[in-house]
Amino acid sequence: MLCDVRERSICADLSARDMEQVERIMAHRTVPQNKAILKEGEPNDCLYVIVSGSFRLTKYLEDGRRQVTGFLFKGDFFGVRACDESAYTAEALEDSLVCRFPHAFLEEISTASPGIKDRLIARGQTEYHKAQDHIVLLGKKSAEERVLSFIELVGKSVGATADEDGEGRVIPLSMPRQDIADYLGLRLETLSRSLASLKKKGVLRDIGRKSLVLSG
Amino acid sequence: MLCDVRERSICADLSARDMEQVERIMAHRTVPQNKAILKEGEPNDCLYVIVSGSFRLTKYLEDGRRQVTGFLFKGDFFGVRACDESAYTAEALEDSLVCRFPHAFLEEISTASPGIKDRLIARGQTEYHKAQDHIVLLGKKSAEERVLSFIELVGKSVGATADEDGEGRVIPLSMPRQDIADYLGLRLETLSRSLASLKKKGVLRDIGRKSLVLSG
DNA sequence: CGAGTATTTGAAGATCATCAACTGTCGTGG
DNA sequence: CCACGACAGTTGATGATCTTCAAATACTCG
């Protein structure tokens, strides 16, 4: 079975011979909605590539406060760390499919396909830069600015489609409000009010549970 | 000339033969206080390792709001990205010394010393995890909690020393209050008040411009 | 249709920001 | 060596934004 995310992912660097190996070793795995595939503090020895669906990454404070540190979509991957325990929890936002690579296996075939490591470095940097943008968002932006930035980010990640009128861009949302609020460092109610306010101002054309429509 | 950060840094993976190469190619460079060695948006083709001193990483919003996304100390490195422009500005907090490696050079010797790439991957992950902790700090913690977390982070990074009485831990601060505030997503005044409050509560034993003393 | 959950809305309160004045510190030069 | 100026940091009073608690409404699924 072939992923349709191959060209965007690690497999793109593999030779035909290595690909055979991959197809023997790797495992596709379905992850039901809200099920964790990786848990903060638990050991992890695999890299996961998202074939379809989406995930949230979360971290918890000792007292239970939860922060969503990122959302991942098709083609993204997580679980890079080769050693000890995971720094975050990864949960499916919807029924999803991932491709699983043991680190040991990656290490092995990377001697033949060193491009794999370059991919990991580059992707690591991309994630780091996204985290920095997130930091700017949390450190310096107002509630409404955060919400707008989030919508644009999702739009870029999953792609926006034109709505019926051809006037607006539809942004699909696979996550509930609470996840968005926890990503933005806001309370549910503040997120809701910010969305309402953006709609009143005409920035948002429509607010749905599973999608938003941006004006223009 | 040999760095005393060698074992903590990329050079640790190099063979003796590669080290000769490194000593020919690499350049030590001094960076005066408040001078940027990397600027957000400008191209960069080198990796820098901090030999002595410290740096702040900053990002700016279009309207000038500044966010400090991280502080780096001896042994840390920045400028990993092999391509296009830098995602952040790196400025010296004090007169500092860095070691400079062109990416092309690293790429070249990594065929002989593949451990270098593993280092870059591992370090990239470490930075990413630090960024995630920063996100939790900004998204979920109160002003005082942020300040305490920051102090503990610096303590871990640069090492705390016992004070005269042997009762407290002295945390050296190489950055001004404004940088700390911009790191914590707070205003100067709020940072100052939080410090004062922590002292009144007995968590801090003393507050100085260039150091803090933690109780216990 | 109805129960349960997700989301929105309302009113009151807390935390942090803002504006302003004050104090402390450091380096310079008389 | 002390006085001065400039900047870094602190403290005070007021206000805005976001949170909290409470209740209403909308949506989903069996």
Residue nearest to nucleotide D10 (CA to C1'): B192
The C-alpha atoms of residue B87 and residue B127 are separated, in whole angstroms, by 14
The C-alpha atoms of residue B194 and residue B145 are separated, in whole angstroms, by 9
Residues 72-131 of A with CB under 8 A from B: 80-82, 87-88, 111, 114, 117-118, 120-122, 124-125, 127-129, 131
pLDDT of B208 > 70? The answer is yes
Nearest to A57 by CA among A93, A85, A27, A97: A93
Q: Using CB atoms, which residue from B80, B82, B139 is nearest to A185?
A: B139
- What is chain B's length? 216
Contacts of B62 in chain A (CB under 8 A): none
> In which band, very low, low, confident or very high, does the pLDDT at B82 lie, cut at 50, 70 and 90?
low
Percent residues over pLDDT 70 in chain B:
96
**Protein CA at A200 to nucleotide C1' at D17, angstroms:** 19
Low-confidence ranges of chain A (pLDDT < 50): none
CB under 7 Å from strand C: A 176-178, 188-189, 191-193, 195-196, 207, 209; B 142-144, 185-187, 189-190, 209
pLDDT recorded at residue B83: 66
The C-alpha atoms of residue B100 and residue A89 are separated, in whole angstroms, by 36
Q: In what order do the strands lie in the sheet containing B27-31?
A: B27-31, B96-102, B46-52, B77-78
Kindly state the tokens that stand for B101. Answer: 């490696």
Pairing of strands A96-102, A66-73: unpaired
pLDDT recorded at residue A24: 78
Q: Which residue of A has its CA nearest to B59?
A: A136
A210 and chain B in contact, CB less than 8 A = no
Query: Residues B24-53: pLDDT tens digits?
Result: 777 899 999 999 999 999 999 999 999 999
CA angle B17, B98, B37 (to 5 degrees): 130
A67 and chain B in contact, CB less than 8 A = yes
pLDDT of B11 > 80? The answer is no
pLDDT recorded at residue A83: 65
pLDDT of B1 > 60? The answer is no
**Residue B62 amino acid letter:** E
Judged by average pLDDT, the poorest of A27-36, B115-124, B200-209 is B115-124
Query: Residues B146-157: pLDDT tens digits?
Result: 999 999 999 999
Question: Cβ–Cβ of A111/B111 closer than 8 Å?
Answer: no
Nearest CA-CA distance, residue B132 and chain A, Å: 6
Q: What's the half-sphere exposure (Cβ side, CA atoms, 13 Å) at A27?
A: 8
Strand D bases with any atom < 7 A from protein Cβ: 8-13, 17-22, 27-28
pLDDT of B159 > 60? The answer is yes
End-to-end CA distance of chain A: 40
Judged by average pLDDT, the poorest of B11-15, B96-100, B152-156 is B11-15
